Amino acid sequence: MHPYHHPLFIHFIVYFNRNQDYFECHEVLEEYWKSIPEADKEHPLTAYILLATGLYHWRRGNLKGAIRTLVKAERRMLAFPPLFRQEIDFEQLLHDLKHSIESVRAEKPFSAFPLHLHSSMLLTSTTMAASQMDLLPAGSNTIIHKHMLRDRTDILISRQKKKRGRN
């Protein structure tokens, strides 16, 4: 199976293209990435995680965080092996990413872009998945500020444990 045909990557595409829920994009791809044995931080999926994170930061006005993550995403995408350049319009993705980086640097307002799919199988899979997913409205405050609205207890506990280990 092509890595882009994995159900979690399909959900990533749906969240990215249908309602720009970049927080969920990050969540589903992180789950997928962590399920891959021996996947490191340079794995191609991390480029998409960084892309979603950068767009999330940009939309929320965190330009410093946006530029840092989008530049990392671009660097990792430029190193994609051939397999990860298939199924989607990779050249268009790079063009849109470069345009986003330039826009953030120029402090322009947030602008979403879709992932263009070359594969009819991938397009069919995302259409079917979208019809079964409960998507929040694009541009809603819930999507824009999602990280602030969830229970972060587990994250805060983990951070405290790490701090104690460094002292």
> One digit per residue, pLDDT tens: the chain, 167 residues?
789 999 999 999 999 999 899 999 999 999 999 999 988 999 999 999 999 999 999 999 999 999 999 999 999 999 999 999 999 999 999 999 999 999 999 999 999 999 999 999 999 999 999 999 887 667 766 667 666 555 555 555 666 776 777 65
Domain residues of the chain, as ranges? 3-166
Given this model, what pLDDT does residue 152 score? 52
Given this model, what pLDDT does residue 133 score? 87
| CATH class of the domain defined by 3-166 | mainly alpha
How far is residue 55's CA from residue 57's CA, in Å, rounded to a whole number?
A: 5
Amino acid of residue 150 = R
| Phi–psi pair at 117, nearest 5 degrees | -100, 135
Q: Enumerate the H helices of 2-145 as residue ranges.
A: 7-14, 22-34, 44-59, 63-78, 90-105, 120-132, 141-144
Secondary structure (3-state) at 161: helix
Which of 60, 52, 55 lies closest to 141, judged by CA?
60
